[in-house]
Amino acid sequence: MKPQYLVLAIACLAAFAAPVPAGAQEQRTPVSQCQAIAQNIPKATFASFSGAATLTPAVSEGGDVKLTFRGHSTFEIETPGGIVIATDYNGWYRPATMPDVVTMNKAHTSHFTLAPDPEIKHVLHGWSDVPGEKAEIKLVIGDAYIRNVATDIRFSYGLGGSQENGNSIFIFEIAGLCIGHLGHLHYELTDAHYTEIGRLDVVMVPVDGGLTMGADSMSRVIKRLRSSLILPMHRRGPPVEAFVSMFGKDFDVANAPDDSITVSMRTLPKKPLIYVLKGVQ
C-alpha cells in the first residue's frame, strides 16, 4: 500500500473509534466488521457515521457457528449465543427450532413466504415493496449482525426484462466470521457490490447452472470473493460437479458425511474448500 493511502486508512479507522457526542446516542448505527478497507483506498466506499453511536453484536469472538442445510437454498444458522437464522425461508424447509430471524428473496416462491409463522420475531425481505427503491437491512440481534447487499434479478417464468435491486445477498457477521448467502443471484457482481460486501469467510452459493447463473459466471464470483469455505446450494438439474469443475488446484473439494458443519475463526480452512453438504449432492 502506498504511504499516502496508509495514512488515509489510519485516519479512517481513527474516525471510527472517535468518541460519540452525548446528543447522538439515540441514533445507533451498526458497524460492519466485514467491510474491510479495500486495497485501492480512493475507490473504497466507507460507511458514514455522522457522529452517531455505533451498535455492535454481543461479544462471541472465537465461538462456533453451526450451519445446517435444510433444503433448496435454506440453511439454518445457529450462533454461539443461541440465535437461530433461516435463509431464503419459504416455510417448507424449517429449522429444528423456531427461528429468531428469517431472510427471504422473491425470485421464486421457493425462496419466500408471505405467511410466515407469527412467532418469528424478524422477517427480512430482500426486496422493497416501494417501486424504484431497494431493501436496506441492518439488524443486530444477540450476537449477530445481519445486513444486505441489493442485486438485480430477471423476471421469472420467461416474462423477460429485469428488476433493479429485486433481490439481496444477505451477510451474517457472527463470532468474527463474515458469512454470505448469495440468494438467487442472476448477474455477476460489480466492483461496487464487492466493496459493499467486504470480506466473506463463508459463502453459500447456488449451483443450479442456469436458473441463477451459469457455472462459469458463478465460479468467477466465487474466485473473486476468495472465501475460505464455499457451501453449494440450490442444485437443480446439473450435478454439483459441473460447478466444481470450474475450479483448479487452488481449491480443495470434499463431500460432507452429514448436512451440517460447525466452523469458527480458528477452524476455517487454510486453503479455500468447496464443501458439499449431504442433501446437496
Q: Identify the pLDDT of residue 164.
A: 80
Per-residue pLDDT tens over the stretch 230-257: 999 867 666 788 888 889 999 999 999 9
Phi then psi dihedrals of residue 224, to 5 deg: -70, -40
Q: How far apart are CA 71 and CA 234, in angstroms?
A: 8
Residue 198: all three cell numbers together? 467486504
DSSP for 93-156, written as a single string:
S--SS--SEEEE--SSGGG--SS--TT-SEEEESS-SSTT-----EEEETTEEEEEEEEEEEPS
Query: Cβ atoms within 10 A of the Cβ of 204, count?
Result: 29
Per-residue pLDDT tens over the stretch 12-27: 444 434 443 444 334 4
| Residue 188: band (very low, low, confident or very high) from pLDDT cuts 50, 70, 90 | confident
Q: Identify the pLDDT of residue 112.
A: 65
Strand, helix or coil for residue 11: helix
Q: How far apart are CA 148 and CA 224, in angstroms?
A: 19
